[in-house]
A and B are shown apart, each in its own frame.
Chain A
Amino acid sequence: MKGRIYLSEDRGACALIAAALDVFSHQEEVPGAREVVLWAMETGMDWSRTGWLWPAGEGSGGRSVFYCGVSSGSPIVERSLCYLMPMLGGSPLQWEFVRLQIRAPRIRSWQGLLRKYSRLSQLIREEMGH
């Protein structure tokens, strides 16, 4: 499996938006807040489970996309995942890690995400170079 993991140092809000932008990248228009929230609910995302890797679907380049909020220390999480993958029969070379600089630690609910989505998605698109 070739995968891409978005990591953000918050409850997962920024990683979620980045993953949504990737998964919806085939659309001409940027997805709206309600569309992303409904989609994220379908991925099973749970705000109380910070650190969990949520499967987002297929992104650009056919890669399986995942997203994860890690509170802090995303380089540590990335490094430990790279050590773990060979034990699981995989290779870290098959995975791309995207550590987001932007974070939104105050967003802890769907309502919070709806309120801040517009601004955050713009900042994340800028960070991703879109």
Chain B
Amino acid sequence: MRIFYYCYGSAHSSVVAAAIHLGKLPTRRVPTISEICSLPDFDRSSDQCLGMVYYKGKDEWGNPVYTVGLGSRPAVACRTLQSMIHLMGNPEDFRFYNALDCLKMMGKVGGAISRRYGFPTLGRPLAAWGVKRSYSLLVALVERVKREVRVASEEHSG
């Protein structure tokens, strides 16, 4: 099963959600701004990279985890991807999760200052601070995803 976390630009919320999923960030405490900023792919992608799918690693069940930035209408773009999967593959093998909805306003503002307006010195720590404030929501999303994946994996194997 392939797991996709999507957001606007594959730079903040989806990157952090994938990092939580893969155990690169903790689930039992809120990470520091330094820990968030030290993720190699946090606040790095540009508008030219929108739509690119990034492989992040495999989870404990061997499922590949990806991030993708789907622009300002991510739900519509996600529907296009899902309809292509309906045409060519098995929808059960592809799971899409919206990480952007978990990010509170300050994280989005910080991300926009850094990536859209080109001021990472100011925007990156602000985005990381916004991620900290939204962290419980991101952990809740990943825990829900993992519950679904566990059930699906058990059904698949049993």
**Contact, CB under 8 Å: A83 / B84:** no
**Contact, CB under 8 Å: A83 / B77:** no
**Contact, CB under 8 Å: B83 / A53:** yes
**Contact, CB under 8 Å: B84 / A88:** yes
**Contact, CB under 8 Å: A52 / B83:** yes
CA distance A129 to B68 in the complex (A): 34
CA distance A85 to B52 in the complex (A): 12
User: Which of A51, A75, A83 contacts B80, CB < 8 Å?
Assistant: A51
* B contact set with A: CB distance below 8 Å: 2, 50-53, 68-73, 75-81, 83-85, 87-89, 94
Query: Which chain B residue shows the least CB distance to A69?
Result: B76
Tell me which residues across on chain A come within 8 A of B71, comparing CB atoms. 72-73, 76
**Contact, CB under 8 Å: B51 / A68:** no
Give the top 7 A-B pairs by smallest Cβ distance, nearest first. Answer: A79-B51, A51-B79, A51-B76, A83-B53, A73-B71, A76-B51, A53-B83
22 A-B pairs whose Cβ atoms sit less than 8 Å apart in the complex: A49-B79, A51-B73, A51-B75, A53-B84, A66-B87, A70-B80, A72-B71, A72-B72, A73-B71, A73-B72, A76-B51, A76-B69, A77-B51, A77-B70, A79-B51, A81-B80, A83-B53, A84-B84, A84-B85, A87-B89, A89-B89, A90-B88
CA distance A50 to B94 in the complex (A): 20
The total of Cβ contacts below 8 Å across the A-B interface reads 86
Interface size, A (range) = 20 to 34
CA distance A84 to B91 in the complex (A): 13
- CB-CB under 8 A for A73 and B87, given A83-B51, A84-B53: no
Tell me which residues across on chain B come within 8 A of A80, comparing CB atoms. 51-53, 68, 70, 77, 80-81
Q: How far is the CB of A86 from chain B (nearest CB, A)?
A: 10
A55: Cβ under 8 A from any B Cβ: yes
Q: How far is the CB of B94 from chain A (nearest CB, A)?
A: 8
Tell me which residues across on chain A come within 8 A of B73, comparing CB atoms. 51, 70-73
Chain A 40-95 interface residues, beta-carbon cutoff 8 Å to B: 49-53, 55, 66, 68, 70-73, 75-81, 83-85, 87-90
Q: How far is the CB of A113 from chain B (nearest CB, A)?
A: 19
**Contact, CB under 8 Å: B88 / A88:** yes
CA distance A22 to B63 in the complex (A): 40
- CB-CB under 8 A for A79 and B89, given A71-B73, A72-B72: no
Q: How far is the CB of A11 from chain B (nearest CB, A)?
A: 10
